[in-house]
Amino acid sequence: MKVLILKTKEEACEWVANHLILAIKEFKPTPEKKFLVLGLPTGSTPVPVYEKLVKAYQNNEISFKNVVTFNMDEYLGLAPTHNQSYHYFMDENLFNHIDLPKSQIHILDGLASNPQQECVDYEEKIASFGGIDIQLGGIGENGHLAFNEPGTSFDSLTHVQQLTDNTIEVNSRFFEKKSDVPQKALTIGLQTIFNAKEVIVLALGEKKAEAVYKSVRGEVSYLCPASMIQNHSNGIFVVDEAAALKLS
């Protein structure tokens, strides 16, 4: 695992965006591998990264025609049209502005009639594309990745996750009131994430400093899901100086 500390939030987002832009540019489809498979996060952290991807598309630098995406998670019970659903977030911040065909976008369905089956199908779908090539993630203040809360097993696959009070509290800033935040979510598992050929975790700001410290310097423990990145041969933590505060 590598840790890349960049001075500002802007520089950290730029590094991640450029990394993805390069991967998209360099990808050449073959009959055996038709698509570059990206795992994508939501949250406020990746927003500037998505803005830069949209710009690169608008400047004719890249096309998403040979890209397939799998989002990390979705709130259970929220319709895709709900303005706090991750479907809505992705449409607003990325998908509505690029040439990625709808058929190549995958997001867990928060309204699935059988959520467990939805999770099994999602894993199969990921496998059918040969797994995730580049998994990008943000990190929760409690060290969660996607919605894998502390305590989630390292061999977890896509599953229904009960959210912790801390996550509900932190994410309530996007809702009118805390009681509007769904208690459960569908999320890819830690094994799903770390099966990716490359894992990039982007952490910005002082609020993430403790989680970054535990993930990078602490022991690899299910109490801090992101610490599992230490065992990934191609894992990289990209942080700004504020998030790296406790590393020095």
**Catalytically annotated residue among 144, 159, 171, 240:** 144
The answer to whether 45 contacts ligand GLP (rule: CB under 6 A) is: yes
37/193 with CB nearer ligand GLP: 193
DSSP 114-170: SHHHHHHHHHHHHHHTTS-SEEEE---TTS-BTTB-TT--TT--SEEEEPPHHHHHH
Q: Which region, left, alpha or beta, applies to residue 188 given φ > 0 means left and ψ of -120 to 50 means alpha? A: beta
167 interacts with ligand GLP by CB under 6 A: yes
* Residue 42: CB minimum distance to ligand GLP, A: 6
Q: How far is the CB of 86 from ligand GLP (least distance, A)?
A: 8
Residue 25 Cβ vs ligand GLP, minimum distance, rounded to whole Å = 26
Q: How far is the CB of 147 from ligand GLP (least distance, A)?
A: 5
Choose the stretch contacting ligand GLP; rule: CB under 6 A; options: 77-85, 113-121, 138-146, 233-241.
138-146
Tell me: does residue 158 bind ligand GLP (CB under 6 A): no
Return the exposure string of 203-220: e unless at least 16 CB atoms fall within 10 Å of the residue's CB, then b.
Answer: bbeeebbbbbbbbbebee
Based on the shown chain and the rule CB under 6 A, indicate whether residue 147 belongs to the binding site for ligand GLP. Answer: yes
Give the separation between CA 79 and CA 143, rounded to whole angstroms.
27
Give 62 or 106: the residue with its C-beta nearer to ligand GLP. 106
What lies within 8 Å, CB to CB, of 211 at 6+ separation is 139, 140, 141, 142, 143, 203, 224, 226
144 is catalytic: yes
CA atoms within 13 A on the CB side of 10: 0
161 counts as binding ligand GLP under rule CB under 6 A: no
The tokens describing 104, both together, are 């190549």
Q: Which stretch, 40-48, 175-183, 209-217, 225-233, contacts ligand GLP (CB under 6 A)?
A: 40-48
Rounded (to 5) percent helix, strand, coil in the chain: 40, 20, 40
Told to check if 41 binds ligand GLP by CB under 6 A, we report yes
Asked whether position 140 contacts ligand GLP by CB under 6 A, the answer is: yes
Can 106 be counted among the known catalytic residues? no
- Residues pairing with 6 in the sheet: 240
* Residues 72-101, mask of contacts with ligand GLP (x by CB under 6 A): xx----------------------------
Which positions ≥6 away from 46 have C-beta within 8 Å?
Answer: 13, 16, 40, 93, 136, 138, 202
Catalytic residue among 19, 71, 106, 142: 142
- How far does Cα 129 stand from its chain's mean position? 18
Residues that bind ligand GLP (CB under 6 A): 41-45, 72-73, 138-140, 146-147, 167, 171
Catalytic residues: 73, 142, 144, 149
